[in-house]
Structure 1
């Protein structure tokens, strides 16, 4: 595809509805667009270009500029086959060729004849999973798994295929909107992809992102730390130099960076000297949802109930199904061997009807559905004291009443980890910030904002665009790298 010149009189202004991320109309850019900023997020993805000197979001799911980081397909093997059949991504190594042959053979044996629409993304993927969980392969937040230790080569290869599929979908949708080919991208990355924060883990994760980006057709790729990117967008509004603590709380990671920012630093291509300290860990909004689901919803599946012997049911059987960002936990729970353990626990249970629900969760792979209800409850409880959540995807609908106090108790552990990262960034840098800039999808939580304010009570907290600050900053950095 060649670079196209579009008519400038076709340009219409973006009209962003406050706090929704939806655009009021489509538009065509009156300039060539070859580079984008790409926020491949844990909870959602978004991309932006530069138009008239300003970051401009690109709608990638209908009119919405955010697409949930989810994928659904008829089978696990359908991901690799769809990349080849419908996205023209040809396997470039013997290992990938062998994997593709196995995937095609599996789908043929299962009678799965793929069409382009069989692999879905974003909200469409979630709806597909909720409507038919037993026969849908569903993945949420594959970024959460990047950098995991102990993964075999085949697992790493498959994670790359997942990332590749999501990137290919977003790239194609963006090009359709812009009517031109996108060849260059700056991709955001957290300070640490995993809790260990090891160099090997970070390198493994970044290598997967880089390889996937090249496979979908990005020719030139650069990376920028997500909190730094968020800071770049904030910096554009500063008229004087300030020391800024960037607190970026996403779906899967929390990153905190202390930066020197302002007019004196704005046009520096190397920002490493302005970074006074940074911390990061794999803990984010998804962890709040998981802990809330575990503490407040898994009781309906048997958590805390007793066996006939008087012993309490093993906790791991209720944690593993909702630990949707933990590969070993999910693998263990949904294994064939565990099915036998669950059946035995049901026989030994004083409340067998609850274990029957756990068995139903196992067979229909409903862990994601439970966590989804927890996420909805978390959002609602930021506005009200008590809510009732309905687990209506079970054969017998169960209603769970959750109070704000119960939620606060449930999420205390991940919240405390986030606040420790804020403290460590301040200690590491040895300075008190002039201002705190909070951004990221989970930073809009009044609970987390209050917690940060309590840590640094005399420092102003400014709320950034809950999702868009990182994307906008990445687009600005892309302009620096590629324009």
Structure 2
């Protein structure tokens, strides 16, 4: 018998562009010191509280017949890396929720509706949670960005939200409620407070960066939350994936022939069309390049290019479908540059051997326009609300991009380093959503 929302455990689900996580309230004593339990997902080298939002599909033989097998999360990555003949590894589905042009896609000769692909990931999130909790999960508080990637109008926002709701329904959830992801992060931060504060939350995901300005604290909880406690929010479709794309464009693509010209006899035209390199900037697009047409373009470019060895390296990257490995190398560089002023980019796989020393200053120059967009988004929030920077008690940053020093400096310049905090960067939204779910259930 399915549980109704009123009798369901308080579950929070952070379905992210890159990573997802699930949390529940174990108990909620009158003091408000609720304990939060995160779902732990199995993988070969142990367990993780962060579930990669990926789907991998390949043809497998079963009982003498070929069928299409599918895996999600850590298992998807493991099957992809193990496969001699790669299937399709799909990531960042959340980034396409607002696109009415994308209703579905063909994978391995079969058509799949877009919502069904997302629901496959959401189903495994649910079944993992049910296995650990020992109880059905049919109700959840689900995070959503302030602005969906690509949404230009309120109609786009509503379209994206409804598609996400349908995907959860297909995945076996009877009822879901939505909460802004930065608001959820505020709930997680508030759980450790013994006094009231005016805080700015910065939530940096893979596809979006969201900001909320609100009053939180035990006094707010006791008197009951009011709509005016949330002073305002803002967001934009720019975050970790964008920074990764800049590294590929500035560092990797030139080593794979971007900018390489054909011989003078061919009027000095670019050897390879720019759209091929644009696909490299989103590593999960790489499989789209494994077509006969692209193969012919690259082989023709190699034969006529002034730097054929670089085109050969690009061919190897596409043929061996090394997008995930390239992504991992980019992530390592970004992490190392967050720890030190200089780091070596190393991408060694198969026939490819790319190494280059990169300074933090170079990286920050590559993302300068993106940093400016973040600053403008934050400043517009304060202009709209009329709040002075000096009146903010704390700034709480969450998400992987919050580790980037240049991003952190944006807040330190405005608020001072002593007011900037962070913690549980990859799971704070799920924790806060569980707390928000508990509050909602108590009120219903």
Q: TM-score range by the shorter chain?
A: 0.7 to 0.9
- Does residue 429 of structure 2 align to residue 478 of structure 1? no
Kept in 2, the 8 Å contact 1:238–1:263? The answer is yes
Give the equivalent residue in structure 1 for 2:353.
397
Q: Are residues 1:74 and 2:58 paired?
A: yes
**CA displacement, residues 11-67 of structure 1 (integer Å, 9 cap, x when unaligned):** xxxxxxxxxxxxxxxxxxxxx863410000112111111112222212123532111
Corresponding residue for residue 308 of structure 2: 352
Matches within 5 A, 1:211-360: 211-266=166-221, 272-309=227-264, 310-313=268-271, 314-324=273-283, 333=289, 336-360=292-316
Residue 385 of structure 1 is matched in structure 2 by 341
C-alpha distance in structure 2 between counterparts of 1:336 and 1:267, whole Å: 64
Residues 1:147 and 2:98 aligned together: yes
Gap change, CA 1:349 and 1:424, over 3 Å in 2: same
Cα shift at 1:338: 3.8
CA distance in 1, matches of 2:58, 2:104: 23
* Contact 1:67 1:123 (C-alpha < 8 Å) held by counterparts: yes
The one of 352, 370, 377 aligned to 2:326: 370
- Residue 113 of structure 1 pairs with residue 67 of structure 2: yes
Counterpart residue number, 1:43:
18
* Match of residue 31 from structure 2: none
Cα shift readout 1:167-208 (whole Å, capped 9, x = no counterpart): 111111111111111121010000111244422222222122
Query: Which of 74, 80, 91 is the equivalent residue of 1:123?
Result: 74
Q: CA deviation at 1:479?
A: 1.0
Is contact 1:44-1:68 (8 Å) kept?
A: yes
The answer as to whether partners of 2:208 and 2:237 remain within 8 angstroms in 1 is yes
Secondary structure of 1:265's aligned partner = helix
1:461 lines up with 2:415 in the alignment: no
Q: For the Cα contact (< 8 Å) 2:98–2:150, is it kept in 1?
A: no
Q: Quick one: distance in 2 between partners of 1:154 and 1:315?
A: 24
For structure 2, list consecutive stretches of 5 or more residues without a partner in the other structure: 29-33
**Does residue 203 of structure 1 match 2:162?**
no
More strand by share: 2
Asked if residue 411 in structure 1 is aligned to residue 367 in structure 2, the reply is: yes
The worse-fitting range, judged by mean Cα deviation, of 248-257 and 453-462 is 453-462
Tell me: CA distance 1:394–1:205, structure 2 relative to 1, closer, same or farther (3 Å): farther
- Deviation of the 1:292 alpha carbon: 0.9
Aligned length: 418
1:434 aligns with 2:381: no
Provide structure 1 residue ranges, at least 5 long, that are not aligned to the other structure.
4-31, 79-106
1:421 matches 2:339: no
SS in 2 for 1:217: coil
Conserved? CA contact 1:33–1:180, under 8 Å: no
State how far apart, in whole Å, the 2-side matches of 1:407 and 1:464 are: 24
Does structure 2 retain, via aligned residues, the 8 Å contact 1:236–1:266? no
Q: CA deviation at 1:269?
A: 7.2
Distance 1:455 1:338, change over 3 A: farther
Which whole-Å CA distance do the structure 1 matches of 2:357 and 2:417 have between them? 37
Asked if structure 1 preserves the Cα contact closer than 8 Å seen for 2:73 and 2:121, the reply is no
How many angstroms does 1:131 deviate by? 4.0
The answer to whether the Cα contact below 8 Å between 2:23 and 2:37 also exists between their aligned partners in 1 is yes
TM-score scaled by structure 2? 0.85
State yes or no: 1:162 paired with 2:104: no
The residue number in structure 2 matching 1:82 is none
Matched, 1:56 2:56: no
Pairwise CA distance, 1:239:
3.5
State the distance in 2 between where 1:373 and 1:71 align. Answer: 20
Distance 1:175 1:341 in 2: 49
